[in-house]
């Protein structure tokens, strides 16, 4: 069992309702003694709760802070240490291969596009019909080359978005449902 003050202090900038099992009960206990115009939202952080508790008269504050909740603080600390470890490993060993490949894929796409546009513009302005036809016939090759590289770029940026979302979910303690429940939830969100 942990006191409300220990829970709020340990959560810190995390969202109470997701960082603590039974977090909504903790927020409800704080809201029970707060005036209606100062109620905490469901997504209140530990820091917001500390600020709200500071506005309560001393007598009520003492009674509120002594309330005990069935919460293991080690669970909260473990989630914070897991996130810290993940961020430290990313900082110590930044990914360099994928950005390098994406950068050069972009350079190749840009270069081929510019060269083709310059060649096509020259052929049109110079009136070289045969050259314009050859450029048009070679378009399939260029699309195949650039299409492959563009697919690499899209996959790279898609994976970055996915990694960012996973990090944000881990930081806020949210875990998206897996399997059929996850598919149904994604379908309902659209």
Share of the chain above pLDDT 70, in %: 67
Q: Please check whether residues 84 and 146 belong to one and the same domain.
A: no
Tell me if residue 57 falls in helix, strand or coil.
coil
Residue 190 within a domain: no
Q: Do residues 173 and 79 lie in contact, with contact meaning Cβ atoms separated by under 8 Å?
A: yes
Strand partners, 3: 68
Range in 13-22, 31-40, 125-134 the model is least confident about: 13-22
Each residue's pLDDT tens digit, 53-104 = 888 887 777 777 767 655 554 455 555 566 666 666 666 666 667 777 888 8
Model-wide pTM > 0.85: no
Residue 182 lies in a domain: no
In a domain, 180, yes or no: no
Kindly state whether residue 183 falls inside one of the protein's structural domains.
no
What is the average pLDDT across 123-144? 90
Paired strand residues for 2 = 69
Q: Which domain holds residue 64?
A: 2-91
Q: How many domains does the chain have?
A: 2
Pair 105, 81 in one domain: no
- Are residues 99 and 50 part of one domain? no
pLDDT at 131: 92
Number of alpha helices (DSSP H) and beta strands (DSSP E) in the chain: 10, 2
Mean pLDDT is lowest, of 11-20, 121-130, 155-164, for 11-20
Give burial (CB, 10 Å; 0-12/13-18/19+) of 46: buried
Confidence of residue 134 (pLDDT cuts 50, 70, 90): very high
DSSP SS3 for 42: coil
Same domain, 78 and 104: no
Q: Is residue 28 part of a domain?
A: yes
Question: Has residue 136 been placed in a domain?
Answer: yes
The overall average pLDDT reported for the chain is: 76
Element housing 81 (H / E):
helix 73-92
Write down the pLDDT at residue 84: 65
pLDDT of 114 over the 90 cut: yes
**Statement to judge: residues 131 and 146 lie in one domain:** yes
pLDDT digits (tens, 9 = 90+) for 138-162: 888 888 888 888 888 888 777 777 7
Same domain, 102 and 168: yes
Which of the listed residues 71, 91, 111 is the one where a domain comes to its end?
91
Question: Does a structural domain hold residue 187?
Answer: no
Please check the confidence at residue 10 and state whether its pLDDT lies above 90. no
How far apart are alpha carbons 152 and 98 in whole angstroms?
Answer: 10
Tell me how far apart the alpha carbons of residues 89 and 106 are, in angstroms, rounded to a whole number.
28
């Amino acid at each position: 069992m942990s006191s409300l003050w220990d829970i709020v202090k340990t959560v810190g900038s995390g969202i109470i309702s997701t960082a603590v099992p039974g977090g909504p009960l903790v927020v409800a206990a704080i809201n029970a003694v707060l005036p209606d115009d100062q109620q905490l939202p469901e997504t209140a952080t530990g820091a917001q709760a500390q600020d709200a508790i500071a506005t309560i008269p001393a007598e009520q504050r003492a009674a509120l802070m002594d309330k005990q909740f069935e919460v293991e603080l080690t669970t909260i600390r473990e989630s914070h240490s897991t996130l810290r470890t993940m961020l430290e490993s990313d900082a110590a060993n930044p990914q360099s291969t994928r950005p390098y490949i994406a950068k050069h894929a972009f350079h190749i796409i840009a270069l081929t596009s510019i060269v083709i546009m310059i060649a096509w513009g020259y052929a049109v302005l110079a009136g070289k019909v045969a050259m314009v036809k050859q450029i048009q016939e070679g378009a399939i090759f260029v699309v195949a080359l650039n299409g492959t590289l563009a697919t690499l770029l899209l996959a790279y940026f898609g994976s970055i978005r996915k990694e960012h979302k996973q990090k944000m979910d881990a930081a806020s303690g949210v875990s998206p449902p897996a399997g059929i429940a996850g598919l149904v939830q994604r379908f309902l969100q659209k």
